[in-house]
Amino acid sequence: MIKLLVGLGNPGPEYEDTRHNAGFWFIDAVARELKVTLVPERSYHGLVARTSVNGQNVWLLEPQTFMNLSGKSIAALARFFKIQPQEILVAHDEMDIAPGEAKLKLGGSHAGHNGLRDTHAQLGTADYWRLRIGVGHPGVKSEVVSWVLKKPMAEHREAIHASIDRAVLALPLLLAGEMDKAMVKIHTSKPPRPKPPKPPKQPPLPETPAAA
């Protein structure tokens, strides 16, 4: 079961609406759902909220260390409250997934994401849960940094928030440790498109008599 929900992002108003802050957007949505307010906690280098769901303590965390030191904040809180890596869910922007889609996974590489890289290092393991929130890819490697630090176009922003809303609906399953069911709920981005009707069969063409 998940006890600590973390969103990755950069602090400050200039980064607030950028793609790299999709993890913060998720935690903000969870805080609204659980009716809690995140407050600064110097000991954990972040904004923190603590609540109880079905008798279980749940923490929300938005590290305020800047992205490349996110693990410092996560590890500080997890160690103090004896939260195991498998009880941590880290939400982050994911360029390999299209806006409007999100994926839940346990473990794996950081794939060059600085927030995940530091989290791996500080926790000493990759075996924590990730909510990968699709923000799309600019298509050119040299534009990656400016892409994640820019605001998404309105259509993409709406799609990203729709995927976050869907992930929030899976919150009871995440907190109960029903990760397979949560996966199904989060991964279903769109209902399958109805198949186009088959064209009616054409009657066979009448045979033309062979020329004499």
15 is in an annotated binding site: yes
114 is in an annotated binding site: yes
Pairing relationship of beta strands 46-53 and 4-7 according to DSSP bridges: unpaired
Apex 45 CA angle, 87 and 19, nearest 5: 75
Active site (annotated) includes residue 20: yes
Rounded to whole angstroms, how far apart are CA atoms 34 and 195?
39
In this structure, what DSSP letter does residue 134 have? Answer: E
Do the beta carbons of residue 33 and residue 118 sit within 8 Å? no
Rounded to whole angstroms, how far apart are CA atoms 94 and 156?
13
Q: Which of 20, 92, 120, 161 is catalytic?
A: 20
Rounded to whole angstroms, how far apart are CA atoms 25 and 159?
13
Spatial neighbors of 178 by CB under 8 A, at least 6 apart, are none
26 is in an annotated binding site: no
The torsion region of residue 12 among left (phi > 0), alpha (psi -120 to 50) and beta comes to left
For tokens 């990730």, what's the residue?
130
Structure tokens of 197? 């009707």
Residues contributing to the annotated binding site for tRNA: 15, 66, 68, 114
Residues designated as active site: 20
Residues contributing to the annotated binding site: 15, 66, 68, 114
